[in-house]
Amino acid sequence: MTGVQIDFISVPVLGSASVSGFQCVVQNALVNIGTRQGTDPVYDTRGTNLQKDAAYGRLIDLNSAQHSSNFAALDTLSFSRDTEGGDPSGLAQVNLAPAEFSGNGLSLEAKFLSIDGKSVGITVNI
């Protein structure tokens, strides 16, 4: 799998770099986590309810943030497996855990494990 590299900190630089293999899979998973479920015109199963839960005030403490994160991880793993087609660099596991929670935002520790044993961990802000 190969895709355009996205710079999650600033504006994406389209066409300047690409990612492949497990890096592309992880990037796609991060995009899926941040996509609101039901908003993709091509894949109706893409996305999670994490943003919706935050916007609707459902993330009121670490426990509720963990609960919503667990569902986002499961939705992301399911979507990834449905669209990757058995790629050995595909996702075997997605773990999301709240690292920091406040009324202004949520930081998640995101960990991804591939079928062939590679792993990547990153902190993302929601």
| pLDDT per residue as tens digits for the range 48-58 | 999 899 888 89
Please tell me whether the overall predicted TM-score, pTM, comes out greater than 0.85 for this model.
no
> Could you identify the residue written with the tokens 């895709």?
3
Is 103's pLDDT higher than 80? no
Cβ contact 48:75 at 8 Å: yes
Residue ranges of the domains in the chain? 2-125
Distance CA 26, CA 36 (A): 18
Distance between CA 123 and CA 111 in Å, rounded? 9
Residue range 2-125 forms a domain whose CATH class is alpha beta
Q: How far apart are CA 74 and CA 86, in angstroms?
A: 17
Dump pLDDT digits (tens) for 15-32: 457 778 888 888 889 999
Rounded Cα gap, residues 14 and 82, in angstroms: 26
